[in-house]
Amino acid sequence: MSAKVQGGRGARTGRRLAAATGAVLALLLAGCTSIPGAGSVQTGLKDLERVEQASIRYNADGPVAGASQEDIARAFVVAAISPTDDYAVAREFLVPEYAAQWDPSYGVLVDDGSRSYTADGAAAGVMSLSATAKVDADGVLLPVGPGPETELRFEFERVGGEWRISSAPAGIILDSTKFQEIWTPQQLYFVGAGNVLVPETRWYLARSSLATEIVGALLDGPGERMREAVHSGFPAGTALVSSSVPIVDGRARIDLTAELLEAGAPAMAEVRQQLATSLQSVAGVTGFELLVEGTEVRDTPGGASSAPATVSEVSNPAVLTDGRFGTLVSGEFTELSGYAETIAEYEPSAITLALDESAAAVLGPEGATLLDDENSVLIDPRRELLAPAFDRLGFVWTVQATAPQTLQLTARDGTVTSVPAPWLAGRTPVAVRVSPDGARIAALVTSDADSQVLVAAVVRDDEGRPTGTSAEADTVLWAEGTPVDLDWTGQRGVVVLTAEGSTVRVSSCALGQFPSELGAVQGGARVTGGGARSQIRVLGADGALFAAQNSGWQRVDGGIEVLAKRG
């Protein structure tokens, strides 16, 4: 890593990463428990000292006499995992002048562990590695795309007749296996438009101070990409009174400064819900107490009614078959009534249902049509439209493949507006989808000879109307082959189809985590997601419908004309 991770949260986030990398010694092996929104106690692991005693320990070795430059470089990379006495062992591999300058807190680079080394002259060398991901100072993980290997340069000098490093990359390097043993993905929850909880994935070391890390991150607020799309209920300036969140008999004692008292009832309800959902998977935490400078803050009367809601991630597949439109559950087809009875008349190539099934957006030869039980309106007659997207606040998104940098939105009342998506300029997406919570938008595009999924934030006004997207998007997934189709799998993940010849691969990825290969479906053309892998459906050749089973795909039905999406 040649550049320091930049962020907008000041020095505290840099210190947080330094402290996190400094705790690689501790890995909790306990299970997960649930935290109720009101902070009440549930049965769970309470003996955190016992958990710490079960932790994985790592001890670094110092330089060996007579070691070569390559041996010193490789041993230094390994020793840099151990933070004891401010990385004292790792600094033994450095010349004295450089030992005080080297900074391990720049970030974490994750690779596949295959590290080659090439000498570069008499006193330098280059370590080449295949990077798979980078983790920034806030714990946000982004994958590293295919391309040339990452080259890390080391320079050496003799000290007392032994080789020592005079220049080295900053930061920590871990292979993906070790990284996933030591670090754990956690969901931080913020509040999005329509008063719903929106998750952000952050990586932390699995240790007893995890609750402190999570509360501190909630106080810092949403990540840079999502800052305009979601918010936190904590008033500005709210901070922890001390540097930790102690766990007492399973309850996290969250003692905050007096700024918290500036929160009204709705904001306080947001605070409690954010804490409850963000801490629910922390081992040893079964409830929490909220305090201001040592005094417990009681629930605000009526506050629970204004608490942000969670978004349902379970949906049954909907299909058009034999000219009828309905849901398909366990092989049983149930035809939908009302507007659904007329869908076949529009000769649809794509159908998108509103999340509550109150309406549908249908793409046919004439363009995109909005249907409900009372109206049928052609909302976008442009050619080369992609399958419409229907967000939870009632807006239909239509995208022209040849001009995707401007997205068209149609409200249920017929009002049409345009939203800029500068991150799509110059690209040709095959699918653009809005997340179930309405806070993110994803696009599947071509990247050289492969495919990539871009995800941007959706910016909305106080009424929930989209006004734009984030200026840039993150690449959350690279996949081999040409792009075919994309859908969300709940709030936190995507599933994509990509083709290499007649082979269509299925890949999935939870945002901020590592991707998974889900096998192949011959002739796969459309995919729809659900809240879990078992709910993913792929429409294959000749109208065959496939569902995931074990490590492969099972044909569950046939004669399917269109596999609909939801949202």
**DSSP string of 160-222, one letter each residue:** TTEEEEEE---SEEEEHHHHHHHEEEEEEEEEETTTEEEEEEEEEE-STTHHHHHHHHHHH-S
Beta bridge partners of 247: 252
Clarify whether residues 295 and 328 are in a common domain: no
Q: What is the pLDDT averaged over residues 455-482?
A: 95
Residue 65 CA from chain centroid, whole number: 45
Contact 414, 405 (CB under 8 A): no
Clarify whether residues 364 and 387 are in a common domain: yes
Clarify whether residues 340 and 356 are in a common domain: yes
Domain count within the chain: 3
Which region, left, alpha or beta, applies to residue 445 given φ > 0 means left and ψ of -120 to 50 means alpha?
beta
Whole-angstrom distance, CA of residue 380 vs CA of residue 386: 11
Residue 140 domain flag: yes
Q: What is the pLDDT averaged over residues 270-283?
A: 95
Tell me the two tokens of residue 323: 């000219």
Residue 313 domain flag: no
Contact 273, 33 (CB under 8 A): no
Domain boundary among 248, 273, 306: 306
- 254 half-sphere exposure, CB direction, 13 A CA radius: 28
Domain boundary among 180, 205, 220: 180
* In the predicted structure, residue 48 carries a pLDDT above the cut 70: no
* CA distances in angstroms from 348 to 337, 379, 535, 562, 563, listed in the order given: 17, 15, 23, 8, 10
Secondary structure of residue 464 in the 3-state scheme: coil
* Residues 354-383 pLDDT 10s: 988 999 999 999 999 999 999 999 999 999
* Residues 508-551 pLDDT 10s: 999 999 999 999 999 999 999 977 778 899 999 889 999 988 87
* Residues 555-567 pLDDT 10s: 999 999 999 999 8
What pLDDT was estimated at residue 27? 28
Measured at the CA of 341, the angle between CA 337 and CA 347, to 5 degrees, comes to: 150
Beta bridge partners of 565: 352
* Residues 205-264 pLDDT 10s: 777 889 999 999 999 999 999 999 999 999 999 999 998 999 999 999 999 999 999 999
CB-based contacts of 172: which residues, under 8 Å, 6+ apart? Answer: 21, 80, 81, 104, 107, 108, 109
Clarify whether residues 173 and 247 are in a common domain: no
Clarify whether residues 150 and 190 are in a common domain: no
What pLDDT was estimated at residue 223? 93
Secondary structure of residue 41 in the 3-state scheme: coil
Residue 114 domain flag: yes
* In the predicted structure, residue 14 carries a pLDDT above the cut 50: no
Banded pLDDT at 147 (limits 50, 70, 90): confident
Residue 137's φ and ψ, nearest 5 degrees, are -65, -20
Clarify whether residues 464 and 395 are in a common domain: yes
Please give the full DSSP string across 226-259, using - where no structure is assigned: GTTTEE-SSPTT--BSSS---EETTEEEEEE-GG
Q: What is the pLDDT averaged over residues 338-348?
A: 96
Residue 42 domain flag: no
Residue 6 domain flag: no
Question: For a pLDDT cut of 90, what percent of the chain falls above it?
Answer: 73
Tell me the two tokens of residue 213: 């890390």
* In the predicted structure, residue 195 carries a pLDDT above the cut 90: yes
* Residues 306-328 pLDDT 10s: 888 888 776 789 999 999 999 99
Secondary structure of residue 72 in the 3-state scheme: helix
- Burial of 71 (C-beta count, 10 Å sphere; 0-12/13-18/19+): middle
Contact 534, 548 (CB under 8 A): yes
* In the predicted structure, residue 21 carries a pLDDT above the cut 50: no
Beta bridge partners of 362: 351, 369
Clarify whether residues 506 and 378 are in a common domain: yes
Name which of 115-129, 167-181, 332-346 the model is least confident about.
167-181
Residue 356 domain flag: yes
Positive or negative, the Cα torsion across 156, 158, 161, 165?
Answer: negative
* In the predicted structure, residue 338 carries a pLDDT above the cut 80: yes
Domain boundary among 145, 163, 180: 180
Clarify whether residues 78 and 150 are in a common domain: yes
Clarify whether residues 85 and 199 are in a common domain: no
Whole-angstrom distance, CA of residue 182 vs CA of residue 331: 42
Question: For a pLDDT cut of 70, what percent of the chain falls above it?
Answer: 89
Beta bridge partners of 500: 503
List strands edge to edge, sheet with 124-129: 116-119, 124-129, 150-159, 162-167
CA trace torsion 44, 49, 51, 52 (10° rounding): 150
Clarify whether residues 395 and 487 are in a common domain: yes
Banded pLDDT at 389 (limits 50, 70, 90): very high
Name which of 106-110, 332-336, 366-370 the model is least confident about.
106-110
What pLDDT was estimated at residue 84? 80
What pLDDT was estimated at residue 291? 96
* Residues 493-508 pLDDT 10s: 999 999 998 899 999 9
What pLDDT was estimated at residue 471? 94
Clarify whether residues 379 and 280 are in a common domain: no
Beta bridge partners of 497: 485, 506
What pLDDT was estimated at residue 58? 64
pTM: 0.87
Angle (deg, nearest 10), helices 84-91 and 69-79: 170
Furthest CA-CA distance within the chain: 87
Whole-angstrom distance, CA of residue 413 vs CA of residue 379: 11
Residue 188's φ and ψ, nearest 5 degrees, are -95, 135
Write out the residue range of the structural domain in which residue 477 sits: 318-566
* In the predicted structure, residue 19 carries a pLDDT above the cut 60: no
What pLDDT was estimated at residue 424? 97
Residue 344 domain flag: yes
* In the predicted structure, residue 190 carries a pLDDT above the cut 80: yes
What pLDDT was estimated at residue 301? 65
Positive or negative, the Cα torsion across 210, 213, 216, 220?
Answer: negative
Clarify whether residues 92 and 164 are in a common domain: yes
Measured at the CA of 274, the angle between CA 440 and CA 356, to 5 degrees, comes to: 50
Which region, left, alpha or beta, applies to residue 518 given φ > 0 means left and ψ of -120 to 50 means alpha?
alpha
Residue 483 is part of a domain; what is its CATH number? 2.120.10.30
Angle (deg, nearest 10), helices 210-220 and 265-279: 140
Residue 5 domain flag: no
Residue 433, amino acid? R
